[in-house]
Amino acid sequence: MLTEAPDTWTLQEAAHLLNRAGFGGNPREVKEFHGRGRKKAVEWLLAMEAPLDEISVPGWAVDEKAVLAQARERFAGMREGMRGLSAEEQEKKRRELNQERQREQRQQSVDLQEWWFRRMVVTKAPLREKMTLFWHDHFPSSVQKVRVAYLLYKQNALYREHAVGNFKELTRAVAVDPAMMLYLDTQTSKKGKPNENFSRELMELFTLGEGNYTEEDVKEAARAFTGYIVNRGTGQVTHQRLQWDGGEKTVLGKSGKFDGNGVIDVLFGQKACAEYLPKKLWEFFAYEGPSTELVEGLGQSFRDGAFEVKPLLREIFLSKEFYSNSALRTQIKGPVQFLVGMLRQLELAGLPKVYTVSICQQLGQVLFLPPNVAGWDWGRAWINTNALLTRYNVAGFVTKGTDAEAIASAGGGGGGGGEQMMDRVRGMMRSVGRNWAGPDYDKLVPRELRGDSGELVKLLSFRLFQTQLEEKQRKTFEQYADAKRGLVFTNTEVAELTHLMMSTPHYQLT
C-alpha cells in the first residue's frame, strides 16, 4: 500500500488531480473541486454519477435493431438489384455499392470522432471519459481496418461501461468484441489454422508485457481462440464448435483443454499480469518510470483486490507520491488532453466540426485511429517543431479565430485527395475562421479586473496553468500587457495575451 497523502491539499494539487484524472476545468470548477477535500474529491471522481448517455449519440448508432435491420435490407436490396444483370454489370454494381458504403462509413467515422471529442469536453464524469481513452489506447482498434463505425461505437461503449470495473472481466469481453476480432483477425482463426495475432497481443500488450511468455505459449493460446465468426454487417459474434480446437494445450506451464476464457484464467494467475496494468496506469496518470517497489506494491494491491480497477485508482489518487514533484506539471499533454483541456479552461462547449477532425490529424491523435496495435506513443513523442507550431496556431484560432487556413495547409486537414481536396479544405477553414466567435472574454476576464497588468496576468495564469509562474515569465506577460494597453484593455488585447500565454512550452505540460 502506498503512503497516503493528508486530506488537506493545495489548489495546485486539486488542479493536478482534475487534470490527470480528467481534462481539467475552469477556475470555478477547480476551486469547487478543491473545496471537497482530497478524499471526497477522489470519491466524486470514482463515483462517475453522470449518466452513461449524458450527450446524444450519432443517429445511426442509437438503435441497434435499426442498424441490424438496415444491414439486412442493404444485403437484400443488393441481391435484388443483381437479378437479370450480366456478370460485367453485376461487378460494376458491386463496385458502386461498395463505394457508396465506403463513403457512408467515412462520414460515420467522422461523426463518431466528433461525438466522443465533444463528450470529453462537456462530460460531468471526467474520469469515466479519461479511462475510456485509456482503454481505447490499451485495447486499440482502428476504423481503418475494422471499417464499421457502429462496431467501434459499441466497443467505445464497452470501455465506458467497464471504465473502472474489473480488468479480467473487461479482458474477457474484449476477446469476443467484434471490432477487436476484426482488428486482430480472430474471425479467420480456425481449427488446424489458428491465427496468432490476438493471442500474441493479449500477452505482449494487454496482460503480461514482453519477456513474460514464449512463442510456444502464443501458439498454444491461439488454438483456444479458434472458431469465432463475426458478421461484419450486423456485428453478431457466433462460436462454431466444429471450428474450435478442443484439444489439450499448454500455456505458461498450465495444461488443459482450454478455451479463450481458460487461457485468460492462466494469464491472470501470473505475477506479471498483476503488475502490468498498475504500472501502465501509474505512467498514464502520474509519471513514467516508477520504481520497482512502487509497481510491486500496486501489483499486490491489484491482485488482492481481484483485479478491480476502482480501488487501484483510489490508491493511486490518494497516494503522497501522486502529488510529488516527480508528478506535478511533468507530463506533456497529449493532443486530446491539450485540445479538450483548452476548451474546458476557456469555457467553450466545442470546436467547429470540420476543424475538430482536421486539427486532431495535424496534432497526431485521431480518435478511433490509433497508429498500430500498441496504441499511441506518449510523452516526448507528442512534441516536435512542427507539432509545437501547430499547437501555437491552434491556440491562435481558439483564442482569436485566426490561422485556421494555415493549419489546414500545414498538413492536409482532409486526409489526402490531392490539390482539389486541399482547396476545398482551405475554403472550409476560411469559413470556420470567419464564423468562430471564440471565448467570452467579458465572462472570463471581467473588464473591472483589467486595470492592473499584474492582477490580469495572475488571473489568466490560474486559469491556464493553475500554478504561480516564475518571476521572469510573469514579468514577460505583464510587460506584454502593458505594451498592449490603450485607454482600455479590450477583448482583442485579452485574446492576444491569452494566446501568448498558451503559446509557451509551459502550457504544453500538465
What pLDDT digit, counting tens, does each position of 13-22 carry?
A: 999 999 999 9
Spatial distance between the Cα atoms of 497 and 237, rounded to a whole number of angstroms? 55
Whether residue 2 is predicted with pLDDT greater than 60 in this model: the reply is: yes
Type of residue numbered 379: G
Rounded mean pLDDT of 117-129?
Answer: 97
Q: What phi, psi does 357 have (nearest 5°)?
A: -65, -40
Q: Which of 155, 211, 222 is nearest to 182 (CA)?
A: 155
Return the pLDDT at 413.
Answer: 39
Q: Which residue has the cell 492462466?
A: 266
Spatial distance between the Cα atoms of 126 and 412, rounded to a whole number of angstroms? 31
Asked if 117 contacts 360 with a C-beta cutoff of 8 angstroms, the reply is yes
Return the pLDDT at 245.
Answer: 98
Rounded mean pLDDT of 290-305?
Answer: 98
Return the pLDDT at 96.
Answer: 76
Return the pLDDT at 433.
Answer: 63
Return the pLDDT at 508.
Answer: 97
Cβ-proximal residues to 432 (8 Å cutoff; 6+ apart), any chain: 352, 354, 355, 404
Whether residue 135 is predicted with pLDDT greater than 90 in this model: the reply is: yes
Q: How many CB atoms lie within 10 A of CB 255?
A: 11
Whether residue 509 is predicted with pLDDT greater than 80 in this model: the reply is: yes
Return the pLDDT at 421.
Answer: 46
Spatial distance between the Cα atoms of 418 and 414, rounded to a whole number of angstroms? 10
Asked if 339 contacts 430 with a C-beta cutoff of 8 angstroms, the reply is no
Range name among 25-29, 70-74, 446-450 with the lowest pLDDT average: 70-74
Whether residue 492 is predicted with pLDDT greater than 60 in this model: the reply is: yes
pLDDT bracket for residue 415 (50, 70, 90): very low
Mean pLDDT across the chain: 91
Whether residue 412 is predicted with pLDDT greater than 60 in this model: the reply is: no
Return the pLDDT at 408.
Answer: 53
Whether residue 90 is predicted with pLDDT greater than 80 in this model: the reply is: no
Rounded mean pLDDT of 395-411?
Answer: 70
Whether residue 414 is predicted with pLDDT greater than 50 in this model: the reply is: no
Return the pLDDT at 506.
Answer: 95
